[in-house]
Amino acid sequence: MFAYIVRRTISGLVLLVVMTLVTMMLFFSGPLHPERHACGKICSPAQIAVTKKAFGYDKPVLVQWGQFMQGIVKGRNFPEDKKLEKDHPELVVHCTAPCLGYSKYFTQNVTTLIKTSFPISLSLAIVAFILWITGGVLFGVIAALRKGTIIDRGIVGISLIFYAFPTFFIGLFLYKFVSIKWQLVPTPEYIPFSQNPWSWLTGLILPALTLALFFMAGYVRMTRAFVLESMSEDYIRTAKAKGLPARRILTKHTMRAAFTPLVTMAGLDLAGLLGGAIITETVFNFNGLGGLAVAAATNNDLPILVGLVIVLASFVILANIIVDVLYAVIDPRVRVG
């Protein structure tokens, strides 16, 4: 198992490195001119060239990529200019390792930017995850046990409604009614957990619910399908034939088998959500990673984009490894022999 984790981690790291290169190459292959964007309304070709140099975009992609990798390992200076560093050290920003780059637009280290935004996305993802897993599994199991009845159809139908409506609609709807009109929860805003855990939760609950309602629909249907599938397995018949009570068959035999495939889905969905939920964050005005990504894209801000790619990809790769390890924990056929 240990060897397996090591092997997966190594291949994951290699994948990350390749992804940064691919992102950079894609960025420069497109019709984007970040230097043009940055230098203002009236811009002479000479000025553009200077800006380009200042950004370091004049060098070949591979060199830029090399500098980027170096930044992650050793840290780097912006701009990379020995003369400027000597003459005007105040104009040079040092970025310590692991340095994901420096955003001219935000005039901040990308690492710092991500560090600021990440807790917001993380909180949102975790609360939403807990909500949708609990709800999805609970309603999915109920629907499966009441298969074909009005309860089953009701649960599946209602979850579909939430899935079908656009996220911003659900979000705005909840905002308007639950928070503003009925005042059941305070106005959604991000308050750090360390500051006040209760406010953290109440501030998050609406955006988290918006996300959860969207994801829940899928989980209700999947849970229902997996439980039904598991209930028709031969070993459930064996359990019945042994004389086990129905409740024990459900909790011990049916559920365990049904949840295994859910673990995969849940792990990957959570990892994806950690990278930010763009629409929900925008609706509720949360400055998470989603917002950062939008800002970076509209401003052609390469360092932030590459930084976000790395962070997001790391989560997905990590989630994959964790899911596989969990699989081995759950399923002895993977673990032993």
Partner 1 sequence: MTDINLTPASEDIPDVPEVVVGAPPPQLDPSAKPILEVDDLKMYFPVKSGGIINRTVGHVQAVDGVSFQVPEGSSLGLVGESGCGKSTTGRLITRLYDPTGGSIKFDGKEIANISQRQMLPMRRDIQMIFQDPATSLNPRHSVGAIISAPLKIHNVLPDNKIKARVEELLEIVGLNPEHYNRYPHEFSGGQRQRIGIARALTLQPKLLVADEPVSALDVSIQAQVINLLQDLQREFNIAFLFIAHDLAIVRHFCPEIAVMYLGKIVEIADRETLYGRPHHPYTQALLSAVPDVKQAQIGGRRERIRLKGDVPSPINPPSGCRFRTRCQFAQEICSRVEPPLLQIGPRHKVACHFAGELGAHPAEPIPQSANGGEGAPANQPGFEDHWLNLSTGQTASA
Partner 2 sequence: MTTTTNADVLLSVRDLKVHFPTMDGIVKATDGLSFDLAKGTTLGIVGESGSGKSVSSSAILGLHRGTNAIVSGEILLDGEDLLQLNDEQMRRRRGQDVAMIFQDPLSAMHPYYTVGNQIGEAYLVHNDVSKKAARTRSIEMLDRVGIPQPDRRVDDYPHQFSGGMRQRAMIAMALMNDPGLLIADEPTTALDVTVQAQILDLLQDLQREFNSAIIIITHDLGVVAEMADDVLVMYAGRAVEYGPCKEILTHPEMPYTWGLLSSVPDVQGDTDARLIPIPGSPPSLLSPPKGCAFHPRCVHRDKVPGDLCFTELPDLTPARSGGSHVKRCHLPNPDEVYRVEVLPEIAPDLVEETP
Residues that bind partner 1 (CB under 8 A): 3-4, 6-7, 10
Tell me which residues in 47-86 interact with partner 2 (CB under 8 A). none
271/1 Cα distance (integer angstroms): 22
Q: Given candidates 41, 83, 247, 333, which one binds partner 2 under the rule CB under 8 A?
A: 333
Tell me which residues in 214-233 interact with partner 2 (CB under 8 A). 233
Choose from partner 2, partner 1, none: what does 15 bind? Cβ within 5-8 Å by kind.
Answer: none
Closest distance between partner 1 and the C-beta of residue 7, in Å? 5
Q: Does 147 bind partner 2 (CB under 8 A)?
A: no
CB nearer to partner 1: give 5 or 61.
5
305/302 Cα distance (integer angstroms): 5
Q: Does 332 bind partner 2 (CB under 8 A)?
A: yes
16/307 Cα distance (integer angstroms): 11
CB nearer to partner 1: give 10 or 25.
10
Closest distance between partner 2 and the C-beta of residue 233, in Å? 7
b vs e for 196-226, b when ≥16 Cβ sit within 10 Å of the residue's Cβ? eeeebebbbbbbbbbbbbbbbbbbbbbbbeb
DSSP string, 157-207: HHHHHHHHS-HHHHHHHHIIIIIIIS-SSPPP----TTT-HHHHHHHHHHH
CB nearer to partner 2: give 24 or 258.
258
Closest distance between partner 2 and the C-beta of residue 234, in Å? 4
Beta strands in 51-159 (DSSP E): 75-78, 93-96, 102-103, 108-109
Under 8 Å between Cβ of 256 and 141: no
Q: Given candidates 14, 248, 251, 298, which one binds partner 2 under the rule CB under 8 A?
A: 248
> Which residues are at the interface with partner 2 (CB under 8 A)?
233-235, 237-246, 248, 253, 256-257, 330-333, 336-337
